[in-house]
Amino acid sequence: MATEFRDEDAARSLERIRSDQRAVVEQVIVPTWYWWAVGALVVAIGAAADTRRPALVVPVALACGLSIAGLTVWMIVGRGRAQVSRELLGERGAVLMAGFLWLLLAVSFGIAFGLRAAGVAHPGLIGCGGCALGLVVGGPRLMRSLRRAMLAQRAGS
């Protein structure tokens, strides 16, 4: 006995597939709270650096660095969520992510070292504050861009 498929059945099945694909994309997007947390930790490093007291700078930098690394590893593998495949993210997505982070670091270090050379008070805090602002504002925007790219990549597959 042959099974007949109607147009409505096919349309429902396609919509279910698209919905599942959208859900996978949403699961891999880094949440806004992550950008705020990393931004706060970066500011703590800058504030500690401005004290120029190694007994404070070293433990704060280590604690913040380990916290950022731990959060990042947890975001990548520990949430029990789907991971981004190369096909879904695409080269553009990887370049956007790496470029965003490298640009933030370069600008933040440039600001901090420039302010220090100019004798401005609290150059580390100001430079890291700029980095934190970039993370908090740019991180969610980057995620929206990556979401659009992944959904477009998914549609093209």
Query: Is the dihedral angle over the CA atoms 13, 86, 137, 125 positive or is it negative?
Result: positive
* Rounded distance between C-alpha atoms, residue 27 and residue 22, angstroms: 9
Structure tokens at 96: 């956007």
* Rounded distance between C-alpha atoms, residue 41 and residue 44, angstroms: 5
Instruction: Give me the residue spans of the domains in the chain.
Output: 32-77+89-156
Look-up: residue for tokens 């991180």? 139
Confidence of residue 147 (pLDDT cuts 50, 70, 90): confident
Q: Are 134 and 108 in contact (CB under 8 A)?
A: yes
pLDDT greater than 70 at residue 84: no
pLDDT greater than 70 at residue 43: yes
pLDDT digits (tens, 9 = 90+) for 111-145: 999 999 999 999 999 999 999 999 999 999 999 88
Given this model, what pLDDT does residue 63 score?
Answer: 97
* Rounded distance between C-alpha atoms, residue 47 and residue 86, angstroms: 38
